[in-house]
Structures are given as C-alpha cells and as structure tokens.
Amino acid sequence: MQPNEYFTHFDDEGRARMVNVGAKDITKRTATAGARVLVSPETYALIESGGMKKGDVLTVAQIAGIMGSKHTSTLIPMCHPILIDGVNLSLSLNKEHSAVEIEATVSCTGRTGVEMEALTAASVAALTVYDMCKAVEKGMVITDEPGVYIEGSHGVRLENELLVCKGEKNEYGQFMYMDTITYVPMDLDAINPDMMTAEEKKLLNDYHKQVYEKVSPYLNEEEKEWLAKYTREI
C-alpha cells in the first residue's frame, strides 16, 4: 500500500504535501460545523444578562469565529488559502443544557471545500466563550454533544460519557487546581456473560469497581445512580 493511498496529504515517499487542486472544477461549496460550551447555571446567567466584565460574550465570540475562519490556512499547515464568499456564525443560549450553542456555515466558490474553515470558526468561537468567562468558571466544557449540568456537583454528564472536574477551590468557588476524569460507559445489556470466561468477568467487574470508587466521591446522588447502572457487576 502506498503512503498516499488513503491520505492525500502525503506523497509516494510519505512526505507531507499540499494537494494540487488546480485540475478540479470551480463549484459552489458550503460546510457547517457546530460546538457547545457547557457552563454552570451561574455562568449561564451572567452570559444571558451581559454581566461578564469582559463584555458581551456572544458578540465577541461571533466576531472571533468569523475572524478565525479567515485565518484557517495560516493555522492548519496543508489547508489552501481560500477566497471565502461568506461566513454565517450564530451563537444561542440553551437553558435546558446550560450551554452556549454555536453553529458556523462557511461558503466559497472554488476548487476545494471549506470544512476546515467552518470547523475553525466554531472552534475559535467556543474558545472565545471560554476566554470571556474563565475568570468566573474554570470548569467549562467544550464539546459537540448535549450535556446536562447537575447543580451541586462538579460533574457534567454528556450524552455518552461522564466528565468530572475535581480539585481545590478558592474563596470564590473557582477551581485552583483541576484534574479531569472521563468515563465512557459500555452497554452492559449488550454483553452476554455466558460468552465470557471467569477471568474476563473478573477483569471487567474489577475495572468497573475501580471506576466507581474513583469517580463517585465527586458526584451527587443523581450522577451516582447513572454511573452505577454502567458499572454494575455482571
């Protein structure tokens, strides 16, 4: 198999290259990317009310995302400089998930796509939200999945994983030193114990026991119940 059989950014000798798109037709191209920034209810309220000291979080993040899309080729080495036709970047507040929702759509008329420009726009906007709010909260989570912030806990439960921030807090309730535990659960209902050896069962049960013992001290009761379902003994 040649090094560039699947990866077009490598030549036949395995060296990086910028793909030559000169022979491609000029067509209309569009790409959309999204992101979420999960925040605490307190941070959410400050964003919603415009109470952040740095200014209007959503407006600044929108401008930053648009600017970021125009600099994609200087950030990502093998991206082509593209003459962008337009960038539509929207930010909205999702109270149910205590999150800032970001969607970026980039379009151009050219020989190569604008996926990276859309991804960069969404990423820079999300990073800007974090920067605008980090003085209030250090435990924000940038993701592409819906999350549920559970009040009274250091945990944020995503759709298919649990992310726990733990560490010491200062007098303002901000994390001074923070570590992160991420646990991606497996569907135990899809496992047939009869197909496992005794040793395999023991290894899996020991692993789940260790996960629960390590993570549960940082969770509230609702999160513990959720975790227990995925770490039960088989």
Closest by CA position to 132, among listed 47, 35, 54, 48? 54
Structure tokens at 205: 């049960």
Task: Give yes or no: 85 in active site.
Answer: no
Q: Please, how many CA atoms are within 13 Å of residue 234, restricted to the half-sphere of its CB?
A: 25
Catalytic residue among 131, 189, 194, 206: 131
Structure tokens at 165: 């921030």
Structure tokens at 186: 């497996």
CA–CA distances in Å: residue 18 to residues 9, 76, 80, 81: 6, 11, 8, 11
Chain-centre distance for alpha carbon 5: 30
Sign of the Cα pseudo-torsion (140, 174, 62, 95, in order): positive
DSSP label at 231? S
Structure tokens at 17: 């290259």
Give the separation between CA 80 and CA 108, rounded to whole angstroms.
12
Find where tokens 């970047």 sit.
89
**Strand, coil or helix: what is 152?**
coil
Positions marked catalytic: 131
